Structure 1
């Protein structure tokens, strides 16, 4: 199956999963903006923003990261309507600040529908899972979207809430054009954070390519903020929140553009980042994906991407090198 067919199937599935929670004209909040360098989470934010805007016909009434979130501001700007939490791979105890935001929402907004957009779930210990389960049970209006079968099985056995399988929100971006012409045979995008698999990557030495990671992007220029604020004003969005949302989207777009340019520089890609895999699909780049520590790459691929004709998942680095040659690289 070609990558366009895969993308369109997932866009349709996303629309179907989210549509019951939002109607034209509804106000809503979108929370946990990724205020950090990870390109994949910026792709998720922009995909979710586009999807929700298409369903409601408007931007969010309130948006925030976990760092600048204010319960009072949420209630003031968005007194009614669903609260959406951005998807990704931080549902669990690896990233406690994001989980703390979920607990805060569940405990302090008992009268609001809260929708967790598609996540992968991973808990290293039982304590965090028990605390999350208690908060979900006490709330009663929490809807949990997950993007792989293992997460669905865990959620169904631990949490008392509707569990919905849905694709990653980055697919709402649709097919993307290559922003640059390839100038090298291969981009080797490998994690440099706590989600590294710990597998031996010595076989990659034979490829003669230095690994890169988009978690190490350069600092964002100040012009990104200034231009976003002027864009909001020129389009008649005068409120402080409207300008704030425009700035958030501009930051996410800047990070995504850097990541797309990094991937598109290669004729092919090998990556252990799930969104290295997903964005390579959106760009139509032949590539090989490896698993990370939480195995979310293979879990996602097995559910949504089987049969993709220009990409595969390899179990280890040596297999990835062989698989790459089969995708057309000598």
Structure 2
């Protein structure tokens, strides 16, 4: 255990050289750079896992570039200095996720701001779900986004599921549009090999505006499984660049210690897939869970249901908790990442 912790800290120290925020882009003098911008500090561990996986991917496949981290909070307040530091041959990467749309408008505003103000740079948006609501405000914001994105001469958008791919192709004809699984799947080569003693049933159910689950189901599950751990992929604290790896590892270890997870979180499902953890997953507000499930529907320990029902969910949990899970490799998904740099055109 001591050696394992020591090795982890050594890896974290090495990575913090890449992720020091302000110091990186104010003081760095290397030539070829990738600026990973809009990096969040909030406690959504799905989003933090996206950044963790993106940095790992860039380190593996773009080793000829220096990766510079720019926090979301620096987007506006340090804009003038960013404009001075970012050269025309530098590449800007924007994080993947599920915030391209009007559900989280501040995220979309910031993405438009960068795309609109860095017209001389190649910009790559990592695997995203697009979801503009069919409302007056949703249609209005989509028009604004279409105008900005289609005005950029060198923009690559990567969708993480088929519906988003088709929408991006239709809305952004001037951009290069690709499809690739959620970048967190890239971590399967690391966490799929690890083993922990599984000792609990865990629920990971949303309580925010994306939730469509029934609270009564969770109460019934608690009655049937008294030791049910009620958890979430969101923690009530900010996550610094230096501690991101520790925090993501801690959350994934929790999944690896679970016999079964019940979730309506997309990254709850992805965390289960990459850690070989049996899972009952249901949909949330938009199409991202069902779309992402299509990449892993061959995994017999990931069970998608249209709606959580107490009796059927209990039966599924009982069955999955007794299942002997052998190694389920996600090699076919890794193939998408291996070819991604070439498909981007770099």
Q: TM-score by structure 1 length?
A: 0.77
Given candidates 210, 221, 225, the residue that maps to 1:204 is 221
Select 1:215's aligned residue among 234, 238, 247.
234
Q: How far, CA to CA, are the matches of 1:316 and 1:60 in structure 2?
A: 45
Secondary structure at the residue paired with 2:39? Answer: coil
Distance 2:66 2:319 in 1: 45
Is residue 2:284 matched to residue 1:287? no
Aligned twin of 1:78: 86
How many residues are treated as equivalent by the alignment?
277
Question: CA 1:326–1:180 in structure 2 vs 1: closer, same or farther (change >3 Å)?
Answer: closer
Shift of 1:155: 1.3
Name the counterpart of 2:206: 191
1:36-47 alignment to 2 at 5 Å?
Answer: 36-47=42-53
Between the aligned partners of 1:312 and 1:305, the Cα distance in structure 2 is 10
- Is contact 1:189–1:269 with CA below 8 Å preserved after alignment? yes
| Alignment RMSD | 2.3
Deviations 1:288-322 (A, max 9, x none): 111111131111112x1121122121111124333
Q: Does 1:172 find its partner at 2:156? A: no
Any idea what the Cα deviations from partners look like across 1:100-132, whole Å, max 9, x if unmatched? 111111211111111110001111221111110
Q: Distance in 2 between matches of 1:297 and 1:133?
A: 24
1:264 — aligned with what? 256
Match of 2:56 in 1: 50
Aligned to 1:315: 306
Q: Within 1, Cα distance between the matches of 2:265 and 2:142?
A: 25
Asked if 1:163 is matched to 2:211, the reply is no
Distance in 2 (CA, whole Å) between partners of 1:151 and 1:166 is 11
Question: 2:96–2:126: 8 Å Cα contact kept in structure 1?
Answer: yes
Unaligned runs of 5+ in 2: 1-30, 324-346
Alignment of 1:1-330 (within 5 A): 26-57=32-63, 60-69=66-75, 70-79=78-87, 80-124=89-133, 125-160=138-173, 161-173=175-187, 174-176=189-191, 178=194, 180-184=196-200, 186-199=201-214, 201-202=216-217, 203-205=220-222, 206-208=224-226, 209-217=228-236, 248=241, 250-302=242-294, 304-318=295-309, 319-329=312-322
Structure 2 residue matching 1:32: 3-state secondary structure = strand
Give distance in 1, aligned partners of 2:211 and 2:50. 20
Q: In 2, are the aligned partners of 1:269 and 1:287 still within 8 Å (CA)?
A: yes
Deviation of the 1:187 alpha carbon: 0.7
- Aligned 8 A contact 1:314 1:323 in 2: no
- Cα separation, 2, equivalents of 1:198 and 1:280: 19
Give the gaps of 5 or more residues in structure 1: 1-24, 221-246
